[in-house]
């Protein structure tokens, strides 16, 4: 049995699709489905159970002998969320409970960290998991801080010789795009936001730069196709001796202009890009540059190439966004 928290969400639902394709038995989804179309992310999956997060501890204890691994993707992932108490409860306390449960019951534990832990990038984007290095990072919003807080706790527990799951991996996801993100509203990838405008032959407005070192649209991020993220996690599942904190990016930053233009090109359209001011609420919390340092994952043995931005966007547009049923 494998449990996927946040299983109806973007990354979680793609994990379930990959596990089902591999023939994994007894897949359990833990999530809040609410009243939007989030359920459609998993409508094609065969599931052994659906568990509300409030009932997860009791479910785990009932099925302790059956659970092989937990993929913990459940979190408040909006970088605009300001309720720090709610964020800590969901992103830190729940993760800690699952870590302790997996350590006590011998289950493997793969959890989502985030590139938001790096803050403005002054300290680089090195997935160094040492106590000293992590202490230097300064996340710029409560979401990034909550993920960083848990990464630091893991580092301290390891240093103190505390109990750990038989395999554990914290994954610092960079800017992921791909199918099943449609419920995320304004937190969808730029690809998903550009597509309706591009398909209609209309202009799309990117955020204007408010940094002297970057021209409008030249803000740079490490954009990664969802299938590459999933492949890393399936590789971890196949390599139970690999544990650690790992970046999950491509190792190559690209501009938002590159990303937006790629959507128009995938549709055979002339790019029509304009600019609008970045909202004041997030202007001082904006990452103008991210680029994953990927040597640790490579040194651990993962050697597959990552999908180029142009190929990933074309696959997303043609295989999903342009289809009557865009869900995986």
State pLDDT tens for residues 40-52. Answer: 999 999 999 999 9
CATH number of the domain that residue 281 is part of: 3.90.25
15 and 135 co-located in one domain: yes
- Taking residue 111's Cβ as centre, other Cβ atoms within 10 Å add up to 25
In a domain, 102, yes or no: yes
74 and 39 co-located in one domain: yes
Q: Is the dihedral of CA 216, 221, 224, 230 positive or negative?
A: negative
In a domain, 327, yes or no: no
Give the residue ranges of the chain where pLDDT is below 50: none
* DSSP assigned state of 176: E
How many Cα atoms within 13 Å fall on the side-chain side of residue 13? Answer: 23
> Is residue 26 annotated as a catalytic residue, yes or no?
no
266 and 242 co-located in one domain: no
Note the pLDDT of residue 158.
96
95 vs 92: CA distance, rounded Å: 5
197 and 113 co-located in one domain: no
The torsion defined by the Cα of 128, 292, 94 and 166, in degrees rounded to 10, comes to: -60
In a domain, 130, yes or no: yes
And the tokens for 83? 């309720």
Domain of residue 194, residue span: 181-220+253-287+313-321
Q: Which helix (H) or strand (E) holds 50?
A: strand 49-51
145 and 267 co-located in one domain: no
192 and 50 co-located in one domain: no
> Is residue 304 annotated as a catalytic residue, yes or no?
no
215 and 227 co-located in one domain: no
106 vs 65: CA distance, rounded Å: 9
Q: Which of 143, 177, 264, 316 is catalytic?
A: 143
Q: Which of 184, 214, 286, 288 is catalytic?
A: 184
152 vs 133: CA distance, rounded Å: 10
172 and 207 co-located in one domain: no
And the tokens for 308? 């180029």
In a domain, 328, yes or no: no
State pLDDT tens for residues 133-171. Answer: 999 999 999 999 999 999 999 999 999 999 999 999 999
In a domain, 326, yes or no: no
Note the pLDDT of residue 6.
96
127 and 200 co-located in one domain: no
CATH number of the domain that residue 129 is part of: 3.40.50.720
295 and 197 co-located in one domain: no
In a domain, 10, yes or no: yes
Place of tokens 């790629």: 262
pTM (whole model) above 0.75: yes
In a domain, 90, yes or no: yes
86 and 190 co-located in one domain: no
Query: Could you give the number of structural domains in the chain?
Result: 2
124 and 198 co-located in one domain: no
In a domain, 51, yes or no: yes
């Amino acid at each position: 049995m494998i449990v996927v928290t946040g299983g109806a969400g973007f990354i979680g639902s793609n994990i379930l699709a990959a596990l089902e394709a591999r023939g994994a038995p007894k897949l359990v989804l833990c999530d809040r489905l609410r009243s939007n179309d989030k359920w459609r992310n998993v409508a094609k999956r065969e599931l052994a159970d659906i568990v509300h997060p409030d009932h997860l501890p009791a479910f785990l204890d009932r099925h302790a002998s059956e659970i092989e691994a937990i993929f913990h993707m459940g979190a408040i992932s909006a970088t605009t969320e300001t309720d720090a108490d709610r964020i800590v409860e969901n992103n830190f306390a729940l993760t800690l409970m699952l870590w302790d449960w997996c350590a006590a019951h011998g289950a493997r534990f793969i959890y989502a960290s985030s590139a938001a832990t790096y803050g403005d990038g002054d300290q680089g984007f090195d997935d160094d998991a040492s106590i000293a290095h992590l202490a230097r990072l300064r996340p710029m919003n409560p979401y990034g801080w909550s993920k960083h807080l848990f990464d630091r706790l893991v580092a301290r527990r390891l240093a103190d010789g505390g109990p750990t799951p038989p395999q554990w991996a914290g994954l610092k996801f960079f800017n992921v795009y791909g199918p099943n993100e449609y419920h995320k509203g304004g937190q969808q990838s730029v690809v998903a936001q550009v597509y309706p405008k591009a398909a209609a032959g209309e202009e799309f407005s990117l955020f204007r730069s408010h940094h002297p070192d970057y021209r409008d649209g030249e803000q740079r991020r490490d954009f990664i196709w969802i299938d590459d993220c999933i492949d890393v996690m399936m590789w971890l599942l196949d390599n139970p001796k690999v544990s650690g904190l790992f970046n999950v990016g491509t190792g190559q930053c690209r501009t938002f202009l590159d990303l937006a233009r790629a959507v128009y090109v995938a549709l055979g359209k002339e790019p029509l890009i304009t600019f609008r001011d970045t909202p004041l609420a997030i202007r001082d919390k904006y990452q103008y540059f991210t680029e994953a340092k990927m040597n640790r994952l490579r040194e651990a043995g993962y050697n597959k190439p990552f999908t180029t931005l142009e190929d990933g966007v074309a696959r997303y547009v043609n295989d999903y966004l342009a289809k009557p049923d865009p869900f995986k």
